[in-house]
């Protein structure tokens, strides 16, 4: 029997990702989705080689109840961003197939792509039964896409009130609702998500019903003390409405962010989440609890990446 081909050098793979090669991006995503223990060193090496992604990039997460039109919205937004000259990577987190464990691909098929367009890449990722609307590999997958594309759009499953994890992997959170559903007020009043960065009402073509939904949302965010949260009404029915206004709202939010500080906090939360997933609550208790772990993370050098932080947490737990 012939020997297996040696694995692709990580630095060569990272170079292909940074160059925007869709083939390299696909191979990198395959790697970070690999749960085998023997793949972890290569995953850590890849993430280290990719760094923090494009410094002028933007990562946007879309959350909200199922069936509100997130996939259609992401597709329209991706098209507008491409028209404006940005490259776009989309991560569509889908429910898992009970039979295969893989993504059902329901969202991916609704996102319009053109094979000849090297500047648009769409990837589906299965949740594998995990809560929070994201899969465990999502943070690393976002980092891969952020190294290759100017704008990264992350669409969550839409699993109701556990839609919180997306804020840990993106710069801007968009909460999507449809007119007449009552979901917006329920979510915001419950305080589950605090106040998202941008609110979107779909199906603006419904007219008065959509206008009422916008007014309700604006009143809700004012009641929560956030008068500056933009509320945008969109319709993806031809001719589309509101997509340009949404892009402008996203760019405005990005311009007001301290991206360095926000992404540093995200890396630290990602590290703690990875550690907790690997070692469970017993491991977190060995650190002195979550607050003690967060204090320790806050004392670490800003330049440390997620694998290094996870390793440090493991060492702290062992010493404790």
Residues 94-114 have pLDDT tens digits of 654 333 344 344 444 456 667
pLDDT of 224 > 80? The answer is no
Which segments of the chain belong to CATH 3.40.50.300? Answer: 58-256
CA distance 13 to 28: 7
Can you read off the two tokens belonging to residue 219?
A: 């009143």
Tell me yes or no: is domain 58-256 CATH 1.10.8.640: no
CA distances from 20 to 32, 52, 113, 139 (A): 17, 15, 16, 19
Other beta carbons less than 10 A from residue 216's beta carbon:
18
In terms of average pLDDT, the best of 3-12, 184-193, 273-282 is 273-282
88-94 and 198-201 as β-strands: parallel, antiparallel, unpaired?
unpaired
Question: Average pLDDT for residues 38-59, to the nearest whole number?
Answer: 89
Whether the model clears a pTM of 0.95, i.e. scores above it, the answer is: no
Q: What angle do CA 11, 9, 312 make, to 5 degrees?
A: 65
Token pair 């290759």 is found at: 148
Q: What is the pLDDT of residue 167?
A: 75
List of residues 6+ apart from 47 with CB closer than 8 A: 32, 140, 143, 305, 306, 307
- Asked if residue 146 has pLDDT above 60, the reply is yes
- Residue 51 sits at φ, ψ, to 5 deg, of 70, -150
Helix 290-298, helix 306-319: angle, nearest 10: 130
Statement: residue 247 has pLDDT above 50: yes
């Amino acid at each position: 029997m012939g020997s297996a081909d040696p694995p692709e050098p990580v630095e060569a793979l990272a170079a292909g990702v940074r160059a925007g090669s869709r083939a390299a991006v696909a191979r990198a995503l395959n790697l970070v989705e690999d749960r085998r223990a023997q793949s972890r060193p290569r995953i850590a090496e890849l993430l280290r080689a990719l760094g923090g992604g494009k410094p002028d990039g933007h990562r946007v997460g879309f959350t909200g109840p199922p069936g509100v039109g997130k996939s259609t919205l992401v597709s329209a937004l991706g098209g507008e961003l491409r028209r404006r000259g940005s490259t776009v990577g989309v991560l569509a987190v889908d429910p898992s197939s009970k039979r295969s464990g893989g993504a059902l691909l329901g969202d991916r098929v609704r996102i319009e792509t053109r094979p000849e367009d090297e500047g648009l890449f769409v990837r589906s990722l299965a949740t594998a039964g995990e809560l929070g609307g994201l899969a465990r590999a999502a943070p690393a997958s976002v980092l891969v896409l952020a190294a290759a594309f100017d704008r990264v759009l992350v669409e969550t499953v839409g699993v109701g009130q556990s839609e919180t994890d997306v804020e840990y992997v993106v710069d801007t959170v968009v909460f999507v609702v449809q007119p007449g559903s009552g979901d917006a007020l329920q979510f915001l009043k419950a305080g589950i998500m605090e106040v998202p960065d941008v609110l979107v009402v779909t199906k603006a073509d419904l007219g008065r019903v959509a206008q009422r939904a916008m007014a309700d949302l604006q009143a809700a965010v004012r009641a929560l003390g956030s008068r500056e949260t933009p509320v945008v009404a969109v319709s993806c029915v031809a001719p589309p409405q509101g997509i340009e206004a949404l892009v402008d709202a996203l760019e405005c939010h990005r311009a007001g962010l301290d991206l360095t500080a926000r992404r540093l906090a995200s890396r630290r939360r990602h590290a703690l989440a990875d550690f907790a997933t690997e070692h469970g609550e017993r491991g977190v208790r060995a650190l002195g609890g979550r607050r003690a772990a967060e204090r320790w993370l806050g004392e670490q050098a800003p330049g440390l990446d997620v694998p290094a932080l996870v390793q440090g947490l493991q060492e702290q737990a062992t010493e404790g």
